[in-house]
A and B are shown apart, each in its own frame.
Chain A
């Protein structure tokens, strides 16, 4: 029942959209490059790939999905959920590493 007309709608410019897309392409190229170059360092390759994938997901969420221009609440929600998920992983890994 809030008044939507007062909320400002951010229109993402072509420049921002294109820049994001370019960034995503570069990161994809980087993933491929790392996996080819570092084929021997298996763990490290996996870690780099995951870090890059996370960065890409954040870019998509922030620009394409408008998280950056939306209410702060949504960013807080995303943060909480990410932390929650990380704690599931953490507690499970504690079991594995200390077994």
Chain B
């Protein structure tokens, strides 16, 4: 890379043309390619969500048939989980900022990084191809539960292969980050001088590396059973459907922490910057990331309380699930303690961080309700669960990602978006989001089951409210994206450090040069969050 050492050029300018992007080894360009791809699929997923909400605006068939509805929520789930939320923060901001925050010039294995992106694209094409090939997208739900996934004649094999390939992309990203964090920290940066975002990525990467292979092999077992009739999960041919659920959730619960931990990392960056205070309990936050990653491996059974698992196993999994709430609560207390007596500047990223705390807490606490064995008998497979996981994944991780977009935007593009419009979009998003999903929690308590295109008339009012909420949310999303795109094109120049932060990425130019720093970055005395007050 020596031909382009001239530091006047930023990483956008060193090379031009589409090929220079598609085959770039620069972690920043790869991060941005992920951004564009992931946001596109997010919008596809949102569209499917809006269509489902439209179907549910009134009881009975409104705009689609039952089978279409089943295929819609499956594709929505697959896209949102495997193409949006799992890769989102690590693949976009982890790629772009981890090397910069560690004070180095790239990830440890740049070619592997490019391969991850290509695998992501190929996996995505597989998922979308179910729309045109075979008998249409799978109608099993994103969980592909056997034996139905073995029996349905929709295109399960293709969807499952998509998840399999996307899994490899995720594993390689995790591996890359682990090696980068071990080997490439700036001279003098010990483990406890690392930014907390890097810590959260470290914990996440271990989950990606160790848990993802399990879903890979499980999904291949579905293919083997569909194609060759190997009796693994279907009791009719000697299999055990509960075994499938064990294998599926051994990955998919830890995957929840692949989604949540990086989000918590972003929040731990935003809050000290906008409260102008050093983070409260740095080590507690760092260790709790590792604790969440570790304990999170042993709680998968809470998805199976009503599916015929043994009583003793249910009790064990319930207790373990309650335990994983502890390190999560530690983080929330630390964030709030950081804000306490700080001089808080309510810029858009900070607003998103605060909405994250509020919504993620609703998501987490409703999770504890579901972890209680008796309550779960009533709530399992109702809209309470749909409300719960949207609060965690969308209200939590999704909002943290939007916060990250507004936080690092001036660093990535060197320009600033319109702050007023950003705040307005934020207000629409919070209003729309809560109007869309809070009614679902109540509907679930009332007994409305999930995954149906129809419902009883007594559920109508809250469903109408929820659908109207989805429209407000959609308008908020459009406002936010249009504002960001405008800022990207013609925003005012932002300078190196518009937010007055002291972590490393703000020391370099905006946008950064190809090699990330124009001069050797200086580590801050007393750690990455040592603000004056």
Contact = CB atoms under 8 A, between A and B. Distances in A.
A94 B312 contact: yes
A48 interface: no
Is the interface on chain B under 10, 10 to 19, 20 to 34, or 35 or more residues? 20 to 34
Contact of B242 (A2, A81, A88, A95): A95
A91 interface: yes
B478 interface: no
A9 to B, nearest CB: 18
Interface string B385-420: 000000000000000000000000000000000000
Contacts, number: 42
Interface in A7-59: none
Contacts of B317: 91
Contacts of B210: 81, 84
Interface in B232-282: 242-243, 246, 250
Contact of A91 (B187, B214, B243, B313): B313
A57 B301 CA distance: 30
Contacts of A95: 242, 246, 301, 309-310, 312-313
Interface residues of A, number: 14
Contact of B246 (A81, A92, A97): A92
A2 B183 CA distance: 7
Nearest to B250: A88
Contact of A98 (B184, B242, B301, B312): B312
Main secondary structure of the interface of A (DSSP, over half): helix
A91 B414 CA distance: 51
B187 A1 contact: yes
Contacts of A96: 310
A94 B183 contact: no
A6 B312 CA distance: 54
A72 interface: no
Contacts of B104: 1
A84 B210 CA distance: 9
Nearest to A99: B310
Given A81-B210, A87-B298, A99-B310, A94 B316 contact: yes
A94 B242 CA distance: 13
A88 B317 CA distance: 12
B506 interface: no
Contacts of B297: 84, 87-88
Interface string B308-320: 1111110011000
A21 B248 CA distance: 38
B184 A1 contact: yes
Given A1-B183, A1-B187, A94 B298 contact: no
Nearest to B311: A98
B244 to A, nearest CB: 12
Contacts of A84: 210, 297
Contacts of A88: 214, 250, 297
13 contacts: A1-B104, A1-B183, A1-B184, A1-B185, A88-B214, A91-B313, A91-B316, A92-B243, A95-B309, A95-B310, A95-B312, A97-B310, A99-B310
Please provide the 8 A-B residue pairs with the shortest distance between their CB atoms, ordered closest to farther. Answer: A95-B313, A98-B310, A99-B310, A98-B312, A95-B310, A92-B246, A95-B309, A94-B313
Given A91-B317, A92-B250, A96-B310, 4 more contacts: A84-B297, A88-B214, A95-B242, A95-B301
